[in-house]
Amino acid sequence: MYLSSVRSGTPEGGRSHHKISATVIGLGVVSLITDVSAEMVTAVLPLYLVYGLGVGYLQLGAIDGLYTGATALLRLAGGHLADRLQRPKAVALFGYGLSALTKLGFPLAGSSVAGVGLVIGVDRAGKGIRTGPRDAMITLATPQDALGRAFGVHRALDTAGALLGPLVAFGLLSLLVMDYTSVFVVSFCFAVIAVVVLALFVRQPAGTAVRRPGLSWNVVRDRQVRRAILLTALLGVCTVGDMFLFVGVQKSAGLPAGVLPLLPLVTALTFMLAAAPVGKLADRVGRWRVFLAGHVVLFAAYVLVAVSWGGWLAAALVLLGHGVFYACTDGVLMAHVGPLVPEQVRATGLAFVQTGQALARALGAVLFGVAATGLSLAPAFGVFAALLAVAVTVGARW
Amino acid sequence: MKRRVLGAVLVTAVLVAGAVFVGLRATGARPAEESLDLHSGELVYVDSAGRVRQAGRTGPACQRVDVAAGTLVCLRATAIPAQSEIVVFDSAGERLRLSEWGAPSRARVSPSGNLVMWTVFRAGDSYLGGVGTFSTTAGMYNLRSGEHHGSLEDFTLVVDGVENHADDVNYWGITFARDDRTFYATAASGGKTWLVRGSLDTKVLTSVRENVECPSLSPDGRRIAYKFRSGDLWRLHVLDLDSGADVALAETRHVDDQPQWLDDSFVAYGRDKAVWKVPASGGGSPELVHADAASPAVAR
């Protein structure tokens, strides 16, 4: 049996001298190409449904809302499957392959709303299935004291893909005058390339345990893991949802509505550039500490929106803060939880944390919606800033 | 080593195949942009390739088009994700270009040709809608004075005599009267929709009636064609503004479009990727005007 160095404590103070492993770079490249493919489709889908198929927005809303819960559950299933079969790469490949096939499903489904809904559902399922095993592979391929940096590098590459996807898609639409089929075919090509890269260039890291775990809730019974899940969820409920933040910034800073599509790019670019250095910092000073610090930065951003400080500088500060928040929390959380979970159930454990966080953030967005309707936008940001401050204090003391 | 060679070969093959496909699509016959006759009285529409067409001529690439008194408005998506642009043409060519955040939804020109108005869809900025819901923003621009209202949300909404300041108010489907000051639109808040009458002088929108979406004023300015929602189905109706008489049109199927008056007797609309017309009286039956077409307008 491979003896993993489970829970030798969060590395504090130890500088990492390790290089980023080829597996991590490989998985990062796979994520980059896949995100180009996925975001291409996401970006053009509303236009395609309305002007390509003549389907109304009304139906699109129903299609989209349907799958949020399903993705969360499939993520757990994917994580568990990866652990049980002890083949995270195979399960991840299945997830990536499934999503790749759906890209061709869009033109084939024609104008059938049910068909398009099914295709979107299968695509989301593929995404849900691959996330847990992929992150488990990153932890298996990386020495513990370099996990933060490894996840940082992976998330930077991932975000680069998400940034490029919509640009590629709308560039193609512009060039070929609304030829949606080309967008889907190019998206399919990218997805296939990602599957080929994963299958042939990325090696499954060694060090998978021998004993096959049954399906159990043992992962959650561990005190430290449970603490991480609960605190992550608590912090997640206190976040407002990205779109609300962008609209909030635009309104409070008094920017023209036409710049709104560009605001998410500022966040993503900051996230991309900061992910690796912040991950390295987290390895040195402690990942949970950096995770909480990210929420403190987000708190400051909420306060800026709440006090409605106008102008471009305020908007830039809020968006930079938002990007830094992602850099401090996304990969860093996985790097923090990874070593807490025994290796044989690692994919399941990571999937639990991600699912809890995703559901909590979705709930947070809904709650913010209620607050914003009752209080109007700026005061609602004030309330969420206060909630976030309380949650961070709890997270730091517990 | 073998795996890497195989991998490199496969990746190259997929790249080449994709490039060839895009190349073939790009070199397909695409007509050059011709200038349109904006006073011909002919039908103007958007074809299935996303180009504005008038009889044998092919105009700019647009999602939505409208023409009146020599002014053509074109609403289209741009190369920047989630951005639309409003392009206005007159007989001299392009006259104005504005960018907006959101996906194209509706475009109109006032009967005078002096004002252009539009509606865009935005994803995800509704407060309570949750995942996948959309909100809309309706704006207008006066070509003569340069008066620009990016969103009707800056106007005051009065519903049944009471000012409504809810955050969830959305507007869509503006239609202008001949005086260039009065207009109608749809306002929505708290799950209800109203036909509102607006004034550019007072910047006030007053509710007229419930359950009227995507209004369209008739050429004589006395009736409004609109879509009436019941459940997930929209049905075309015509409302007489003087008498309040409301009649369902003979098109019984779901129509998601801002109707367009071909003349004082017929209403045109897009359905199932084709343009149809139906008598405004409520009698008769739907007739196909043009297959593979959307966003009908008349160059008058």
| Tens-place pLDDT, residues A257-298 | 667 777 888 999 999 999 999 999 999 999 999 999 999 999
User: B223 CB contacts (<8 Å, ≥6 apart)?
Assistant: B217, B238, B239, B240, B241, B280
pLDDT of residue A216: 59
- Per-residue pLDDT for A58 more than 70? no
Specify the DSSP element, H or E, that contains B192.
Answer: strand B192-199
Using DSSP's 3-state secondary structure scheme, residue B292 falls into coil
User: pLDDT digits over A103-162, tens only?
Assistant: 999 888 877 777 887 888 888 889 888 988 898 899 889 998 899 999 999 999 999 998
Cβ contacts of B25 on chain A, cutoff 8 Å? 176, 179, 181-182
Chain B positions in Cβ-Cβ contact with residue A54 (cut-off 8 Å): 270-273, 294
Nearest chain A CA: its distance from B261 CA (Å):
21
Residue in chain A closest to B22 (alpha carbons) equals: A182
Tell me what pLDDT residue B56 has: 83
CA atoms within 13 A on the CB side of B263: 4
Is B232 an 8 Å CB contact of chain A? yes
Contacts of A48 in chain B (CB under 8 A): none
Put simply, the answer to whether A58 touches B232 (Cβ < 8 Å) is yes
Q: Is B168 on the interface with A (CB under 8 A)?
A: yes
Residue found by looking up tokens 């370099």 in the block: A146
Chain B hits for A365, Cβ within 8 Å:
130
Tell me what percent of the residues of chain A surpass a pLDDT of 70: 87
| Cβ contacts of A366 on chain B, cutoff 8 Å | 128, 130
With contacts defined as CB-CB under 8 Å, which chain B residues touch A193? Answer: 11, 14-15
Which residues of chain A make contact with B167, given a CB cutoff of 8 A?
Answer: 372-373, 376-377
Is residue B108 within 8 Å of B259, Cβ to Cβ?
A: no
Q: Tens digits of per-residue pLDDT, A230-255? A: 999 999 999 988 878 888 888 888 88
Per the CB < 8 Å rule, is B137 touching A257? yes
Q: Would you call A65 and B132 a contact, using CB atoms and an 8 Å cutoff?
A: yes
Yes or no, beta carbons of A257 and B83 under 8 Å apart = no
Work out the mean pLDDT of chain A and round it to a whole number.
84
* Confidence class for position A210, pLDDT limits 50, 70, 90: very low
Structural domains of chain A, ranges and CATH numbers in brackets: 22-201 (1.20.1250.20), 219-397 (1.20.1250.20)
Residue A126 near residue A98, CB atoms below 8 Å: yes
The whole-number pLDDT of residue B133 equals: 52
More confident residue, A71 or A363: A363
Beta partners for residue B246, in sequence order: B239
What is the per-residue pLDDT for A360? 87
Asked if B83 lies within 8 A of A192 by C-beta distance, the reply is no
ipTM reported for the complex, 2 dp: 0.78
Q: What pLDDT, on a 0 to 100 scale, did the predictor assign at position A55?
A: 66
Please state, for a pLDDT cut of 90, what percent of chain A lies above it.
Answer: 41
Taking the CA of residue A14 and the nearest CA in chain B, the distance in Å comes to 36
Confidence of residue A53 (pLDDT cuts 50, 70, 90): confident
- DSSP 3-state assignment of B28? coil
Chain A residues with CB-CB distance to B188 below 8 A: none
Residue of A nearest to B273 (CA): A54
Tell me the chain B residues in contact with residue A56 when contact means C-beta distances shorter than 8 Å: 256
**In chain B, which residues have their Cβ closer than 8 Å to the Cβ of A64?**
131-132
Contacts of A199 in chain B (CB under 8 A): 7
SS3 per residue for B88-153: EEECCEEEEEEEEECEEEEEEECCCCCEEEEEEEEECCCCCCCCCCEEEEEEEEECCCCCEECCHH
| Range from A316-320, A341-345, B56-60 carrying the lowest mean pLDDT | A341-345
Are A258 and B125 in contact (CB < 8 Å)? no
B167/A372 Cβ within 8 A: yes
A397: Cα within 13 Å, side-chain hemisphere? 6
- For residues A81 and A390, which has the higher predicted lDDT (pLDDT)? A390
Q: How confident is the model at residue A208 (pLDDT cuts 50, 70, 90)?
A: low
Written as tens digits, the pLDDT of chain B (300 aa) is: 788 899 999 999 999 999 999 998 888 767 788 889 999 899 999 998 889 999 889 999 999 999 999 999 999 988 877 789 999 999 899 999 998 888 899 999 999 999 999 999 876 443 333 434 567 899 999 999 999 999 998 999 999 999 998 877 889 999 999 999 999 999 998 778 999 999 999 999 999 999 999 999 999 999 999 999 887 788 999 999 999 999 999 999 988 899 999 999 999 999 988 999 999 999 999 999 999 999 999 998
Asked if B18 reaches chain A (Cβ–Cβ under 8 Å), the answer is: yes
CB pairs under 8 A between A and B: 154
Point out which residues pair with B298 in neighbouring strands.
B43
Cα of B113 to nearest chain A Cα, Å: 25
Q: Pick A186's closest partner by Cβ from B18, B123, B125.
A: B18
How many C-beta neighbours within 10 Å does residue A371 have? Answer: 21
* Angstrom distance (rounded) from CA A56 to CA A54: 6
CA angle B17, B76, B203 (to 5 degrees): 155
* CATH assignment of B31-298, among 3.40.190.170, 3.40.50.300, 2.120.10.30, 2.40.50.140: 2.120.10.30
B256 and chain A in contact, CB less than 8 A: yes
Is residue A3's pLDDT more than 60? no
Sign of CA dihedral B65, B66, B70, B73: negative
* Segment (H or E) for B216: strand B213-217
Q: How far apart are the first and last CA of chain A?
A: 34
Average pLDDT over residues A76-95: 88
B130 touching chain A per CB within 8 A: yes
| Average confidence (pLDDT) over A45-68 | 64
User: Considering CB atoms only, which of B22, B131, B271 is closest to A68?
Assistant: B131
- Tell me which amino acid residue A58 is: L
- pTM, rounded to two decimals: 0.80
Q: Do A189 and B7 touch (CB under 8 A)?
A: no
Measure the CA–CA gap between A51 and B36, rounded to whole angstroms: 23
Chain A residues in contact with B128 (beta carbon < 8 A):
366, 369-370, 373
- What is the structure's pLDDT at A199? 94
Q: CB–CB of A261 and B101 under 8 A? A: yes
- Interface touch A261/B151, C-beta < 8 Å: no
Q: Where are the domains of chain B?
A: 31-298
Distance from CA of B89 to the nearest CA of A (A): 19
Whether the predicted pLDDT of A224 surpasses 90: no
B22 inside 8 A of chain A by CB: yes
- Does residue B190 sit at the A interface (CB-CB below 8 Å)? no
Nearest to B6 among A111, A192, A200 (CB): A200
Inform me whether the C-beta atom of residue B266 falls under 8 Å from chain A C-beta atoms.
Answer: no
Q: Which of B99, B129, B134 sits opposite A258 (nearest CB)?
A: B99
Q: Which residues contact A267 (CB under 8 A, 6 or more apart)?
A: A242, A246, A319, A322, A323, A326
* Chain B partners within 8 Å of A374 (Cβ): none
